Chain A
Amino acid sequence: MLKHIIMLVLMVGLMTAVGWAQEEGTATDSVVQQTLAAPPTNVQAFDTPNDNGHSITIEWDISADDGQGLNNVVKYLILRSATPDGQFAEIGAATPGATTFKNSGVKDDEDPNYFPRETDFYYTVSAVTADGGAESEVVGPVRGEGQFFDTRNGPVLVGCLLFTIFTIFFIRKAKSGAKLYIRPLAGIDAVDEAIGRATEMGKPILYILGLGSAADIATIASFTILGRVAKKVAEYQTSLIVPCYDPIVMTVAQETVKTGYYDAGRPDAYNEDDVFFLTNQQFAYVGGVNGIMVRQKPATNFYLGKFYAESLIMAETGSSAGAIQISGTDEVTQIPFFVVACDYTLIGEELYAASAYLGGDPTLLGTLKGQDWAKAGVIISIILGIIAAVTGQTWFTELFHVGN
């Protein structure tokens, strides 16, 4: 009997001990799981430099438990409030190891992503573990303010200024009567020849301004050449067809052609319907232009401006129709197609230079000379840059760093 009582007491004691141990263990485990990470330190919030004021940048030092210590940080939450003791709302998250976050938005106050500038905000960063977040101290107030000048674009400003100085200098020189040499370009010399050919054959001239908008530099250069071609066409009494892809380009082209006819003293010969809008869809436009080529059989085709995938289709059709073709674009991927399918191709900057060639105006000639000096500056910069790269002078490379 005593033996049974002792056994019972021992069993009860053992079970109680196990129960305590389990409770203790659970309690210990619970403490481990609920241990929060150390909060991020050295949190800073400041207006993002070189922007329009619609963003604030937050930086912090990572939690002591991020990648080391307890190593239990799963992410950082960035919280924002309009007052230091107000309700902080989550505005974004960053991965473990991250030390920066940009709280930004758009300037349109109707947009859901609107971020107001010149409004005070307070921030805190929380190092989040599986059990919760440990928030840093609150920083602020901080407000986003727009900057007038983006200092990262300093090299662009210097480049603009240098180019402007070169250009003004050579324009003044050209206007003072100095002879500025311009080397011959086959594509430019062929323009008059091509117009004359069309006149002799009694066929029209087709002028394609490409798919660019009126703001594209290639299209603007093409307008200048169109003016020159229109003037010649008016003098030779040939017809000119200008199908346009963009309504604004069409309007400018109509004005340009009209001016050319006026300059030639033949305003009566100008027909506004010769410069018309075709369509604003790339391959429908190609189809329309190809139809004009095979039905009206122009003797000369000009493709000058911004071109994309349609370049080869149009140039091949024009070639098979037997037209003499002069092309020019600054789209590097399309130049090869023009080279193989056209009689003359103006490569890249030659298109911009063509306007100066054809006009002979001192202003344009001076611009061309200024561009050449800018290119000389580029060559010198590249040589110096290579020397700097060889000798490890990184400061020189930084001078040309343009950020966005």
Chain B
Amino acid sequence: MRKAPIIITAVVAALFVLSWLLKSNGAVVDENSMSAISQGFWITLSAFLTLAVMSFLYQDNPFYKFAEHLYVGVSAAYWMCMGFWTTLVGNLVPRLSEGLSNWFEVPYVGFKPHFIIPLVFGFLLLMRLSPKGGWISRWSLAFIVGTTAGLNLPRFLSSDFISQISATFMPLLVNWQGIGSFFSDFSLSASGQFIGILSNLVVFLGVFCGIIYFFFSKEHKGAFGVASRFGIWILMITFGASFGYTVMGRISLLVGRLTFIMGDWLGLIS
């Protein structure tokens, strides 16, 4: 029973080595061929990891686990290094300590006393590691959450609220010159009067009924309920359109990956 995984692993390893050799064009080891061998290895590794991740579509398996753990581990380590070298060494140290700047070999830009504040908050956060002093870290958390939420409120009100209200201020009767003119010049052209009026009407009713749907303190019955149901229909139609649009984008990502497998790795397409 335990032979099957060993055989599969051996076959995959053999295929990996075979691919490596083929992608390296069987080059003999000299100064110029080292780059071909290296390139062959990386292309084979990329293809292996791509297939390992795609194998999740069948079921969870050791190759997917390997790819997943490698990806999580490498990315977490990468971000930790980035945080240390760009935030602490890149921004904080050059503004607080000349000695440390010299030690890390980054240019000292002068002492900036206000940079002590983030340093102190950082230390307060690290107090979480102390069993008795863990509560002190709440000061930093309160500052981060409170300050940033407060800063976000005006931005949110401006971009997502007031600007959207003013964008809805549109005349329901576009270029209106009377009912006679409306029928005599009737056209289904996208730039025509009828489509213009219809478009503005849909926007108005959609926004109006959409907001009605998000009333939480009133029972959705009667006319209010009808408007609410119309609102959720509008929302769902919008979500459907958004879904289709985004899926098309995802398919282009899949095409990119398959192009790599078929072209760069297998050489089936140029």
Contact = CB atoms under 8 A, between A and B. Distances in A.
B52 to A, nearest CB: 11
Interface residues of B, number: 64
Interface residues of A, number: 69
Nearest to B67: A287
B257 interface: no
Interface stretch (B17-25, B97-105, B213-221): B213-221
Contacts of A295: 60
Residue among A160, A251, A283, A336 with the highest chain B CB neighbour number at 10 A? A336
A255 B136 CA distance: 12
Contact of B145 (A214, A337, A402): A214
Given A156-B157, A375-B211, A281 B216 contact: no
A339 B168 CA distance: 27
Interface in B56-75: 56, 59-60, 64-65, 67-68, 71-72, 74-75
Interface stretch (B7-15, B32-40, B185-193, B237-245): B237-245
A348 B138 contact: no
A24 interface: no
A182 B212 CA distance: 14
B228 to A, nearest CB: 9
B79 A279 contact: yes
A329 B165 CA distance: 21
Contacts of A360: none
A369 B162 contact: no
B117 interface: no
B154 A183 contact: no
A200 interface: no
B152 to A, nearest CB: 6
B171 A335 contact: no
Contact of B76 (A251, A279, A340, A378): A279
Residue among B153, B215, B217 with the highest chain A CB neighbour number at 10 A? B217
A385 B250 CA distance: 39
Contacts of B208: 379, 382
A340 B243 contact: yes
B109 interface: yes
A397 B166 CA distance: 6
A372 B216 CA distance: 7
A110 interface: yes
A390 B171 contact: yes
A336 B71 contact: no
B111 interface: no
Given A153-B158, A372-B215, A400-B166, A291 B75 contact: no
Contacts of A371: 216
A378 B141 contact: no
Nearest to B151: A215
A248 interface: yes
List 6 A-B pairs, minimum CB-CB distance, nearest first. A215-B148, A385-B169, A281-B75, A400-B166, A336-B243, A336-B239
